[in-house]
Amino acid sequence: MATHPRNQESREEQEEVYVAWTSPSRLFKKRDREFFVNIFAIVFLLSVILVFVREFVLIATVLSIVFLIYVLSTVPPEDVKHRVTNLGIESAGHFYRWEEFADFWFDEQWGQYMVVLRPFTSPRIIVLLGDQKREKIRELIARHIPFREEPDRSWVDNAARWISEKIPLEKPQA
């Protein structure tokens, strides 16, 4: 017995959009010449060491990562659409149901605020807030998943933060 589309529609919850906005698809910071000179010096010294050790694949990997850093630092991100609904959150054309998330928190980097959603199984989902107010987004998302004031930081997070503080590649912005 086939179900009538109307009956199926009434069983499924209707989507209600709480808020929608556009923001850049990723964090972006225009880098100056000093940053690239420092990166080049580090990569050059590392490459010389790796040539003596005959690690040519590792040299290629390092150069690939430097190229990626260059591209991400010079090409501005595209704007993408985000929506928070009663069923989940849509970001850049991908829809995530509330049931997929363990918790969320806010973070700030390079003067840009973002909401970080932690799914149970996949990597974190980061959505830049653009011109949205954190309090409003927090209220809407907290209806469905728990909010954390401070996220659990892994040893990788702590190591990356320590390295970036101890070895700055450019002068701090005033």
Residue 161 domain flag: no
Contact in structure between 119 and 125 (CB atoms under 8 Å): yes
Query: Are residues 119 and 95 part of one domain?
Result: yes
Residue 174 domain flag: no
Query: Are residues 116 and 96 part of one domain?
Result: yes
Query: Are residues 142 and 96 part of one domain?
Result: yes
pTM confidence score: 0.68
Structure tokens at 170: 């450019």
In degrees to the nearest 10, what's the CA dihedral of 5, 11, 15, 16?
130
**Confidence at residue 170, expressed as pLDDT on a 0 to 100 scale:** 65
Q: Which helix (H) or strand (E) holds 60?
A: helix 56-74
**Confidence at residue 169, expressed as pLDDT on a 0 to 100 scale:** 65
Residue 134 domain flag: yes
Residue 169 domain flag: no
Query: Are residues 96 and 20 part of one domain?
Result: yes
Residue 4 domain flag: no
Q: Which domain holds residue 106?
A: 15-25+78-152
Query: Are residues 143 and 60 part of one domain?
Result: no
In the chain, the N- to C-terminal Cα span, in Å, equals 70
**Confidence at residue 7, expressed as pLDDT on a 0 to 100 scale:** 44
Residue 6 domain flag: no
Query: Are residues 71 and 131 part of one domain?
Result: no
Per residue of the chain (174 residues), give pLDDT as tens. Answer: 444 454 444 435 788 888 898 888 888 888 888 888 888 888 999 999 999 888 899 999 999 999 998 888 888 889 899 999 999 899 888 999 999 998 898 988 888 899 999 898 878 888 988 888 889 999 989 999 988 887 777 788 778 788 777 776 666 665
**Confidence at residue 173, expressed as pLDDT on a 0 to 100 scale:** 60
**Confidence at residue 9, expressed as pLDDT on a 0 to 100 scale:** 47
Query: Are residues 102 and 59 part of one domain?
Result: no
How many structural domains are present in the chain? Answer: 2
**Confidence at residue 10, expressed as pLDDT on a 0 to 100 scale:** 40
Contact in structure between 91 and 132 (CB atoms under 8 Å): no
Query: Are residues 103 and 19 part of one domain?
Result: yes
Q: How far is it, in rounded angstroms, from Cα 87 to Cα 65?
A: 38
